[in-house]
Structure 1
Amino acid sequence: MSDANLLLSARQLAFSYGGAPVFAGVDLHIARREIVCLIGASGCGKSTLLRLLAGLAEPGSGSVTVDGESGAWRAAKASVVFQSPALLPWLSVADNVGFGLDFACRPAEGKAARHERIARVLDLVGLTGQGEKKPQALSGGMAQRVALARALARDPEIIYLDEPFSALDAITRESMQDLLVALAHQQQSAALLVTHDIDEALRIGDRVLLLAGCADGGPARIVGQWQPDGRVPRQHRSPALNHMREEILYALSNPGPAWFPDL
């Protein structure tokens, strides 16, 4: 990956909880407009790693930069979408999308420009004319579209997503995957998606990374990297993707030395 194309760079990240190491020695790099999927067993530290990258928590050691920036400037370049849409029930859809646009880290913006920004991202996620609704009137898929619109309203350089589609039915989940890919490409944003679903990762990921603990019980680290062929979203699973899926399943069950140290 060339330096000019590098967006996110995390080096030697480590984190401990209650004195017990969760992960250590994590190096992770994401290119501009790249969708990276992070998979791993429950409890291995995927969500914690995402929070560190997003600036929502601090690592025990190591560094993270986005476009060469660290600290608050790094956080200003990013948006986060969680498993729950986390919409404020007393606000309308439009006000939920606009929440945070007036924070101190954001450039000042007039009322008309803000309204236009909110309308634009609602249109992007297929919710044109739905701005006056309250969250309780939305389906699960619509609520996640609002959460995605809220993330896009910040014009992020990178979007962090923590299993945002896991509670949706299969058809809605696939539709949201397609929407994420389309919006990431249209907005020219990179994305890091944490998921338990190998099929989801292979369907939309430009790269798939595996975070796993060591066989001796040591802290987790990134132990595998795969780069599926074909344009995303991939509509049909090829023999090559089937083989890759089996390889990932084996790696999940048999953590050991890093297969792909150059990440």
Structure 2
Amino acid sequence: MSNAYLSISRVGMSFTRGGTTSEVLRGIDLDVQRGEFVSLIGHSGCGKSTVLNIVAGLLQPSIGGVIVDGREVGAPGPDRALVFQNHSLLPWLTVYQNVALAVDKVFRGKLGAGERRDWVLQNLEMVNMRHALQRLPSEISGGMKQRVGIARALAMKPKVLLLDEPFGALDALTRAHLQDEVMRIQAERRNTVMMITHDVDEAVLLSDRIVMMTNGPAATIGQVLDVQLPRPRERIALAGNADYNRCRQEVLSFLYEKQRKVEPLRGAPADLAQRSAALRA
């Protein structure tokens, strides 16, 4: 039995539509330690979001399972907070109310009203959004909305923070600022984080490990890279760092070179032998 804080064990996922079954994931095995920051990267359609949704409890795997802190995941719960690429704020609630809604749901009966209010303010302060408590989502920028979404997730005190391309819709400068914020927060609170990204530099900058997924169908984990860069990390200083560039090159090599070699072998089982013979000729 794994001693990992988050354990994904032999997870497979298939979807059936119109009598046709498609295997999306096969044999996903991954252990994540408490306080670790892990990124999932791969080409579009390789099942990264499916993995994240299974950990979140939004999808039930066809085979295998997920254990968080010794308990099997069977449904969504506040121990796993999910931040989407879209901030998903309720547009009729203020910044404060959006975070307070989650805090009240999780901690009502455990914390008094004053304690809950202080906790909401503390989390908004952490993402530098205390100045905008009474603003509606329509009155703040995209980057600010995403800060509030992160504050709402952190305020639930989740055991695992799940990030689904949280910076993908932002401009480059805002994206960089939020990456720095997430690194700072993770260093302070030691959250266990699993993040999906398509950005190689983002993965290397933020992660302790990068999980590289093969192309679908039947996608699986192709390679796991340890990012042994000291923390705290400064993006400008890392630009000329040999270890940073080695990690970056290794991920790029997997995504572009190795996947191009595998791609010709994909197809119906009946023609795999012919394709393999052609490659050897």
Structure-2-length-normalised TM-score: 0.83
- Describe how 1:167-246 pairs up with structure 2 within 5 A: 167-213=169-215, 218-232=217-231, 233-235=233-235, 236-237=238-239, 238-246=241-249
Could you tell me how far apart the structure 1 residues matched to 2:207 and 2:93 are? 34
Question: Which residue of 60, 74, 77 corresponds with 1:75?
Answer: 77
Distance 1:114 1:234, change over 3 A: same
Say if 1:65 and 1:74, in contact at 8 Å, map to a contact too.
no
Aligned-residue Cα RMSD (Å) equals: 2.1
Say if 2:12 and 2:62, in contact at 8 Å, map to a contact too.
yes
Say if 1:38 and 1:208, in contact at 8 Å, map to a contact too.
yes
The answer to whether the aligner puts 1:252 opposite 2:266 as a matched pair is: no
Could you tell me how far apart the structure 2 residues matched to 1:34 and 1:243 are? 21
Distance 1:60 1:231, change over 3 A: same
**Which one-letter code corresponds to 1:148 in the other structure?**
I
Secondary structure of the equivalent of 1:99? helix
Who is 1:10 aligned against?
Answer: 8
Who is 2:279 aligned against?
Answer: none
Displacement after TM superposition at 1:101 (Å): 2.9
**Which one-letter code corresponds to 1:120 in the other structure?**
Q
- Describe how 1:1-263 pairs up with structure 2 within 5 A: 3=3, 6-18=4-16, 19-71=21-73, 75-103=77-105, 108-213=110-215, 218-232=217-231, 233-235=233-235, 236-237=238-239, 238-253=241-256, 254-255=258-259
Could you tell me how far apart the structure 1 residues matched to 2:229 and 2:249 are? 18
| Percent sequence identity over aligned pairs | 36
Say if 1:8 and 1:31, in contact at 8 Å, map to a contact too.
yes
**Which one-letter code corresponds to 1:226 in the other structure?**
L
Secondary structure of the equivalent of 2:105? coil
Distance 1:42 1:106, change over 3 A: farther
Distance 1:72 1:52, change over 3 A: closer
Could you tell me how far apart the structure 1 residues matched to 2:74 and 2:206 are? 29
Across the two proteins, how many residue pairs are aligned to each other?
251
| Higher Cα Rg, which structure | 2
Structure 1: give runs of 5+ residues left out of the alignment: 258-263
Secondary structure of the equivalent of 1:103? helix
Larger displacement relative to structure 2 (237-246 or 147-156): 237-246
More helix by share: 2
Structure 2: give runs of 5+ residues left out of the alignment: 263-281
Could you tell me how far apart the structure 1 residues matched to 2:229 and 2:36 are? 14
Could you tell me how far apart the structure 1 residues matched to 2:8 and 2:204 are? 23
